[in-house]
Amino acid sequence: MSDVLETETVKEQLFHDFKGVVKSLGAWGGDFVMVISKNNPNEYFINKGYTTILRYEEMVL
């Protein structure tokens, strides 16, 4: 979708050095991202100031 909108992805904008996948959730960049990585990514995001981190198991009903 970023190609169609001619915008950078959220990974390119904010997390270019993250070793893993970052997928924006929601319209126009969304309020959340889904992250997939081989290693626990919590420290990376906490160091960037993001303190609300939910594991997949916490999100699934």
Give this prediction's pTM.
0.79
Backbone torsion region of residue 21, taken as left when φ is above 0, otherwise alpha when ψ lies between -120 and 50, otherwise beta: beta
Report the sign of the C-alpha dihedral through residues 45, 32, 53, 59, in that order: negative
**Which pLDDT does position 7 carry in this prediction?**
82
Digit-coded pLDDT (tens) for 9-48: 889 999 999 999 999 887 766 688 999 999 999 999 999 9
Phi/psi for 19 (5° steps) reads -95, 85
CB of 60 closer than 8 Å to CB of 34: no
